[in-house]
Amino acid sequence: MTWKCLCAFLLLGALLPLQAVARGSQAETADESERLVEYLVRPSDTDAAIHLYNDPHYVVFTRGARLDTQLVLFMPGTGGRPTNARCLLTTIAAQGYRVIGLEYNDSPAVTDVCQTSLSVSCSGDLRRRRIFGGDITSHVEHASAESIVNRLVKLLEYLDREHPQEGWSRYLNQGSPAWPHVVVSGLSQGAGMAAYIAKHVSVARVVLFSSPWDYVRTPQSLAPWLAEPSATTPERWFAEYHRRENTAALIARAYEVLHIPPGNIRVFDLPAGPAAHGSNPFHTSTILVPEYAPQWRFLFGQTPPPGAGR
């Protein structure tokens, strides 16, 4: 089975229906000489304090993946589900990464909350609260247990308990994510979360799909956090957008403000395809169309060899 065919198969949801999900359930799919290992884990099974946004996290890697490989953290867009990105995430796993599609507190959308706010810090405050938790005041409040960081830490701890031979503790550092070993990525709101993380902690790589485009209402300009200094150096930032999506021009401006090298940006232009839908189908198509696999591979790159650092 080729990767293109496998992607089409996964997009149809035929591999492991959500109705069949059990705690830490596993499935394997043959692809010529490689085998995928997949886990679906509900957030509430990793931490009893998590009550919201409880669709399963999606974990995937090839059985032969090195224990010291980097981890890709992928966050879907508003209302999305980690399994919706199976085609993309299995392609990344085939490059040698371990991959986590994270279920997180993604509603309401950042732009929906902040587009009428007069506070220039609205989107930055909201993203910080959703990512790191704590006492940051924002327009949307969530318990710290619901934060992205807590969900990731609790999932890694769970995986390390359930599968100790797989080395998941490598991605933890004294109860926090070991960010230098993590590639942060996402689509739409999830890409904005990835960008915000990379601004504040040094990560192995950043891969943005069609976001962020946070802006302030008066005057209508990009949100200040996009121009803040970055803990992750520019050469480790990669991004894409579709030339026909509704906010393409704004996204392109945001990438300039983020100082993403032009050579690290890809502009997609294929038809949206049957899996994309809604009023902005080209926006979601960038993670759904299997023909984008070569560009996906470029954006994520091959995992560094042992001892190569970041």
Q: What is the pLDDT of residue 300?
A: 98
Looking at the predicted structure, is the pLDDT value of residue 22 above 60?
no
Stretch 44-71: mean pLDDT = 94
Span 145-154, pLDDT tens digits: 899 999 999 9
Instruction: State the pTM of this model.
Output: 0.88
Q: What is the pLDDT of residue 264?
A: 98
Give the chain's mean pLDDT.
85
Looking at the predicted structure, is the pLDDT value of residue 87 above 50?
yes
pLDDT band of residue 307 (cuts 50, 70, 90) is low
Looking at the predicted structure, is the pLDDT value of residue 10 above 50?
no
Question: What is the percentage of the chain residues whose pLDDT exceeds 70?
Answer: 82
pLDDT band of residue 142 (cuts 50, 70, 90) is low
pLDDT band of residue 252 (cuts 50, 70, 90) is very high
pLDDT band of residue 115 (cuts 50, 70, 90) is confident
* Secondary structure, 3-state, the chain: CCHHHHHHHHHCCCCCCHHHCCCCEEEEEEECCEEEEEEEECHHHHCCCCCCCCCCEEEEEECCCCCCCCEEEEECCCCCCHHHHHHHHHHHHCCCCEEEECCCCCCCCHHHHHCCCCCCCHHHHHHHHHHHCCCCCCCCCCCHHHCHHHHHHHHHHHHHHHCHHHCHHHHEECCEECHHHEEEEEECHHHHHHHHHHHHCCCCEEEEECCCCCEECCCCEECHHHHCCCCCCHHHEEEEEECCCCCHHHHHHHHHHCCCCHHHEEEECCCCCCCCCCCCHHHHHCCCCHHHHHHHHHHHCCCCCCCCCC
Looking at the predicted structure, is the pLDDT value of residue 50 above 70?
yes
Stretch 231-244: mean pLDDT = 98
Write the CB contacts of 294 (distance below 8 Å, at least 6 apart in sequence): none
CATH numbers and ranges of domains, the chain = 3-300 (3.40.50.1820)
Stretch 145-173: mean pLDDT = 96
Stretch 94-106: mean pLDDT = 95
